[in-house]
Structure 1
Amino acid sequence: MTEHSQEYRRDVGTVGVVFLVVNGLIGSGIFALPEVLHRAVGTFAPWLMLLGAMLMASVFFCFASLARLTDRSGGPQRFVTDAFGRFPGFQVGWLFYFGRMVAHAANVTVLVSYAAAFWPVLGVGLARSCAIVVIIGVVTVLNVVGMKRAVSVLGALTLFKLAPLVLLAGLVLVANPSMEPVALPQFTAVQGVALAALYAFIGCENATIAAGETKNPIRSVPRALLISLAIVGMVYFGLQFAYSNSPVAGTGSETPLAALAGHYAGDVGALLIGATVIVSVLGNSVAGHTVASRITAALSEDRLIPQWFGHVSRWRTPANSIVFFGLGALLFALTGTFVALAISATLARLLGYIASIGALPRLRILAGLEAFTLRLGAAAGVALSLCIWAAFQSSREQWTLIAAFLSAGTVLFFIARYSPTAAPDVET
C-alpha cells in the first residue's frame, strides 16, 4: 500500500458498506418504475425485476471477486490501472468521477423539487438555490469530518427509506391478498423496458471505491455486495408485486407508489411516501458523494492528477477531493446544464463495469491465481454480455458526451504526465 492509503482511517465495516451500496442503488428510480414496468409487461413486471436482479448478480459477483484482490480505494479505476496501466485506468476513473458528479447534482435537484411539494417556496428562485447550497454543503462537511459520520447518517437514512417501502408492500398484500394471473409478455415488450429494470440495480461499484477506508475490505466488501443485492432485490420485487396486483396498476400515475399508498392509507400514506422519496434521494446523494469524491484521491495517489487532490485532512479524510467534488456538483446543480450529462452517467458506469470485468483475469494472474474458475468464468461471461448489450441501448448523443469526457481526460492526463512532479512509468 502507498503512503496515502495508510493515512486514511479505516472506519467502515461490512454493515457500513451495505449502507453505501443500498443507498447507491435505491435512489429516485424505484418511485417511478412500477407503473412504467406494469404498462409494458403487465403482471410479469415483478418477475422482470427479479430477473434483473439475477442477471445483475453476475456483475456483483465479478466485483466481489475484484474486491478480494486489493484493499486500496479507487474501485474500477484501481482495477483497470493495476491490470492495464495508467492511461486506461485514468480514463475509467475520469468517466466515473464526472458521471457521478453530474448524477449527484441531478439527485439534489430532484430532492429540492420533492421538498417543494411540502414547502412551495423552495421550488423557484433564491430559495431553491439556497436549498441546493445547504444540501450539498452539509453532505460535503459530513464527508470531510470523517467517513464514519457519513456512514452513520446513511445508516439512519437507510432505515427511514426501507421501513416505509417494506410497510407499504406488506399493507397492500394483506389488504389485497388475491394475486392476478401472470401473463407472459411479448419479447419486444420486455426488451423495451429491460434496460430500465437493469438500471435500478446499477451501483455495486460504491463498495469498492472507498475500500481504503474500510475495515478488512478484502473480506467485508464482497460480503456486503451480495447482502446488498439480496436486500434491494427483495424490496424491488415486493413493491412491484404489490403494485401490479393492486387497482392502481395501469392508471398512468406519474407517482405510482404515492398513488398506491394513497389508495390504501389515504392522505397520510401518500404523505409518508412523499417524505420517503426525499429521504431516499438524500441517502442516494450522501452515498454518491461519499464514494465518488474518493476517485480523485485515488487518481492522485497514483499521480495521475495533481497531488493536491490526495491531501489528507486532520480527520484522516481526502478533504480536498471531497470539497472539489462538492463544488463541481454545486455548479452543475445551480446552472442546470447537467441534465443531458446525467443521462450519460449510467453509460459511463457501464463502460467502467466492462473495463473492470475485463481486468479481472489479468489481476488474478498477477495475484498468482488462475485466470478464471468455472463459476467465475460463467459469471464474467454473463456480466460482460449484459453490460455490452445495455451500453449499446444508449443514444448517439450519450456516446458523443462520453467521447467529449474522454477527450478532456486525455488532455489532463498528458498535462499531469509531463509535469515536473509526474510519477515515472512503472510496470503494472
Structure 2
Amino acid sequence: MTTETSKYRRDMGTLGVLFIVVNGLIGAGIFGLPEALHSAVGTFAPWLLLIGGILVMAIVVCFSELTKLTDRSGGPQRYVGDAFGAYPGFVVGWTFYAARLISQGANVLVMAAYAAALWPVLEEGIAKIIFIVSVLGGLTFINVIGIGRVVVVLGAMTVFKLLPLLLLTVVGLSAAHHAGPIVLPEFSAVEGMALAALYAFVGFENATIPAGETKKPQHAMPRALMAGLAAVTLLYFGLQWAYSHSTIAGTGADAPLTALAGEYGGDIGAILIGATIVLSVLANLTAGHTSASRIPPSLADDGLLPAWFGKVSRWGTPANSIVFFGVLAILISLWDNFLALAAVSTLARLLAYITSIAALPILRHQAGLAAFNPTIVVAAPVALFLSLWATTQTNVTQWQALAGFAIVGTLLFFIARRNNTID
C-alpha cells in the first residue's frame, strides 16, 4: 500500500470528492441526449440509461478498489505506473492530460454557445473572448489559492444546477402519461445508442486524481465514487422517464430538456433550464480543471516531467501546473479547428480504464493482499469487456491523434529522465 506524507495540503474531504464525481459526470451531454435516445429506442430509453449506469458501476467498483491502495495524486497514471513501470504510467497520464486539456477548450466553447442564447452579445467577437478568458482565468485563480476554495465553489454550483433538474424530474414524472408495457426495441437500435448512453457516464475518474490533496483518500474516494455514480444514474433515469412519457418526446427537439421545461413552466421554465445548462458546463469545467491540472505534478514528483510542474505555492497547491493548464486551455479554446479532437478524450479515458483495471491485481499483490477478492472477480470482467467494446466504436483518426499526443509526451519523458540522470 503506497502511503506517504503529501507535500500538498489535504483540504478536500469526502464531500469535495463527491462534487468532482457528480460534476465530472454531468456536463452538457445529458441535456441533448433524451430526444436522441427516445427516437432510437422509445420508452425503453430510461431503462437503457439505467442499464448503462449499472454496467459503468463495474468500472467504478474497480476504481474504488484502486483508490484504497494509494494516497498519492495521479489517478490512472499512478495506478498504471506503480503496477507496470514509469513509462506506461507516463503515457496513460500524459495522454489523459492532453485529451482533457482539449476537452476543456471544447467545453468552454459549448458553455459560451449556451450563454450566448441567454445573452446574445457573447455569440462572437471580443465579448466572447473576454468571456472565455474570464471563465478559465477565474477557474485557474481559485485552484491556485486552494482546493478547499474549489470545493466550496463546486458545492454551490452543484446545488444550484441539481435543484432545477430535480424539480423538472418531479414535475415531469407527475405529469407523465401512463407508462404502459415496456416495448423492447430491436437489438440494432440498442447497439447504435449504447455508446451514446455510455458516454453520459464517463468523467468519474477525474475525482481519483487529486488524492494527494484529499483527507484520508483511501476512505473518502471509494464512498464518493459509488455514491456519485448511483445518484447521477437515478437522476438520468428520472429525467429520461419524464421526457419519454411527455408530449415533447419524438418531436425532434434540438434542446429536449429546455423544451420539456418550457412545456411545464413556459418561458420562465425554459430560461431556468438554459441557465442550468450554463452552470452545469461551468461546474464540469471546474471539476476538470481541478483534476487534470494535478496530473503534471504527479508526473513531476516521479521525475517524469520537469520539477517545475510540481512546485508548491504558499497555498499548498501545484500553482505552476494549474496556471500552465489554464493558459493552454485558453489558447486552445481560441483556435477554431480543434473541436474534432475533443472525441480523443473519451478514447484516452477508455485506455485509462483498461490499463488501471489490469493494474488492480498487481497493486493488491504489492500491498500484501490477495490479487482478487469476490468483488473484483465479479466487477473486473464486466468492466474490461465494456471498456474494450467501447474502444471498438472509435475511429482511426482518434487513434492517430492519441498516438500523436503519446509521441510528444514520450519526447518530454526522455528529456526529463535525461536531465534527472545528469543532475
TM-score, normalized by length of structure 1? 0.97
User: 2:399 is matched with which residue?
Assistant: 399
User: 1:320 is matched with which residue?
Assistant: 320
The C-alpha deviation readout for 1:147-188, integer Å capped at 9, x for no partner, is 010111000110111111110011112123522432101111
Tell me whether 1:261 sits opposite 2:274 in the alignment: no
CA contact (8 A) 1:43 1:180 kept: no
Distance 1:204 1:31 in 2: 18
User: 1:199 is matched with which residue?
Assistant: 199
Change (3 A) 1:84 1:48: same
Letter in 1 for 2:185: P
Change (3 A) 1:292 1:422: farther
Equivalent residues in 2 for 1:29-428 (5 A)?
29-176=29-176, 178-420=178-420
CA contact (8 A) 1:8 1:316 kept: yes
Letter in 1 for 2:195: L
Distance 2:302 2:9 in 1: 19
Using the TM superposition, give the Cα deviation of residue 377 of structure 1 relative to its aligned residue in structure 2, in angstroms: 1.7
CA contact (8 A) 1:59 1:383 kept: yes
Distance 2:284 2:6 in 1: 28
Distance 1:101 1:234 in 2: 29
Using the TM superposition, give the Cα deviation of residue 2 of structure 1 relative to its aligned residue in structure 2, in angstroms: 8.6
Distance 2:286 2:296 in 1: 17
The C-alpha deviation readout for 1:396-424, integer Å capped at 9, x for no partner, is 1111111111111111111111124578x
User: 2:8 is matched with which residue?
Assistant: 8
CA contact (8 A) 1:303 1:422 kept: no
CA contact (8 A) 1:107 1:285 kept: yes
Distance 2:422 2:302 in 1: 10
Distance 1:406 1:379 in 2: 29
Change (3 A) 1:180 1:349: same
Letter in 1 for 2:65: S
The C-alpha deviation readout for 1:68-99, integer Å capped at 9, x for no partner, is 00000000000011001000000000011011
Letter in 1 for 2:81: T
CA contact (8 A) 1:180 1:245 kept: no
Letter in 2 for 1:328: L
Letter in 2 for 1:418: R
CA contact (8 A) 2:304 2:416 kept: yes
Identity of aligned residues (%): 59
Q: Which runs of 5+ in 2 are unaligned?
A: none
Distance 2:3 2:195 in 1: 39
Distance 1:67 1:99 in 2: 22
The alignment partner of 1:32 has SS state of: helix
Deviates more, 1:349-358 or 1:176-185: 176-185
Distance 2:112 2:313 in 1: 30
CA contact (8 A) 2:3 2:71 kept: no
Q: Which runs of 5+ in 1 are unaligned?
A: 424-428
Distance 1:202 1:280 in 2: 15
CA contact (8 A) 1:102 1:342 kept: yes
Distance 1:421 1:104 in 2: 34
CA contact (8 A) 1:28 1:280 kept: yes
The C-alpha deviation readout for 1:19-56, integer Å capped at 9, x for no partner, is 01100000000000000100110000000000000000
Letter in 2 for 1:188: S
CA contact (8 A) 1:25 1:202 kept: yes
Distance 2:240 2:305 in 1: 44
CA contact (8 A) 1:43 1:181 kept: no
Using the TM superposition, give the Cα deviation of residue 374 of structure 1 relative to its aligned residue in structure 2, in angstroms: 2.6
CA contact (8 A) 1:416 1:422 kept: no
Q: Kindly report the root-mean-square deviation, in angstroms, between the aligned alpha carbons of the 2 structures.
A: 1.3
Moved over 3 A (4+): 420-423
